[in-house]
Amino acid sequence: MFIVMILTFVSSYLTPYMQDDFWFSNNSFLQIFKNAWGDYLESNGRLFGQIYTRILVSNGKLVSSILVTVIFTIYIYYLCKLTFTFEKDKYNFWRFILLLSAFMLFVPDFGSVVLWRSGAGNYLVTTTIMLAYLDKFISLSSKRLLSLISLCGLGFLAGFGNQNTSGGVILITLLILLKNWLETKKLNKQQLLSVGFLLLGFSGLLLSPGDKKRAEMYDSQWLQLSTFDKFKSSLKSMILYFINTPLNIVFLILLIIIVLIFYRYFRKSPNFKLGLIFIIAGVATGAVLCLSPEGMNVGRTYFGAFTLSFIGMFRILSLNRGQRVERLISITMLFFFFVYFTYKLPSTLSFNRQLSERYVLIEHSNHKRVKLPAIKYQSNKYTMAGSYIELSKDSNAFPNYVYNAAFEKTVYLK
């Protein structure tokens, strides 16, 4: 884990700010909450996601990189804990290598949810809180008041995370409660109360005035379509996204194969059932984007769906006790990741270098109006390219006005 922390910190620190990062970086402590509330009312229902983002970028790159490193490490810890890679008094080294290699190989858009600070606030932090809640919900044993308060608090924050992933967490909790009722005819009152707070947070997210205003402003044509046409349009974009990202298809195929193989031998196992619940919720979390006006063709929006499915897959894989086979698969997966990452590394460095050079050019320009060339980049999950929006010739458009405010110069594309 220490090596993971070092690599994450170095990667984050070497990654320049991009777009929204500048916009959020000049907030005082009170402005963080005031402006996030303003977003909730006017443009973005993810109140806490916007707060987390502003906290990440408001104290400079060094502090930001430290915070991102800590959060990502906690995220990986919960991945390991929920998949039995880490247990109370031991950890499985080769399963950890397999989990980390598979995660880095198949995660839809690492750059946009970990390295891009605005993405980390809205996706990495919120998803980590959801995993903390699910871990406590599943392993609940203490009946102390403090434990109940923390469970309900995490439930509220998990529900107020982001629209599709919070829905997936709700589905997991409801399916677990249903499974427990069918098996024991009993329900845990603490779990039920926490689900109430989970639903309360989710209601606050869905009832955001800002989300409604944003949809009316940017998705007015989509809103006028019939339900079938909305579904057809979004599904088409989703299919095109998966066609252009073949590793996502490989992950889904592996998911299906693993479920079918382990179902034959372990279908009565509690861990198989719980793993299957995570997979069902993960797939549903991704599929629901077919009903969304935007996001179905952007990697970062699938981060929650991937996380839940990934946990389900590795929870099922934990039923396999063949250490020699696990070691061989781990080494193979590590090799594939290393080859793929090495292939993508030059374009990763190129994208970051071009962004940094752009900022230097703006800062050192003697003109108040600065024309900039377009950044050339390839699609790459290890850069922020998946969330990058190029400048336009309109200095008042996004992201031009973000540059204007950050550098106090009018910036537009050549």
| Gyration radius of the chain's alpha carbons | 22
Whole-number average pLDDT of the chain: 87
pLDDT at 216: 64
**What is residue 203's three-state secondary structure?**
helix
pLDDT at 201: 93
- Report the percentage of the chain scoring pLDDT > 70: 97
pLDDT at 222: 65
CA distance 261 to 350: 42
The model carries a pTM of 0.92
Q: What's the average model confidence in pLDDT over 296-321?
A: 89
- Report the percentage of the chain scoring pLDDT > 90: 38
> For the chain, what are the domain ranges?
2-349, 350-413
Q: Which of 143, 126, 158, 117 is nearest to 49 (CA)?
A: 126
H helix runs in 207-269, sequence order: 209-218, 220-223, 227-244, 246-266
pLDDT tens, residue by residue, 337-359: 999 999 999 988 999 999 999 99
Handedness of CA 362, 365, 368, 372 (dihedral sign): negative
pLDDT tens, residue by residue, 99-148: 999 999 999 989 999 999 988 989 999 999 999 999 999 988 767 888 88
pLDDT at 193: 93
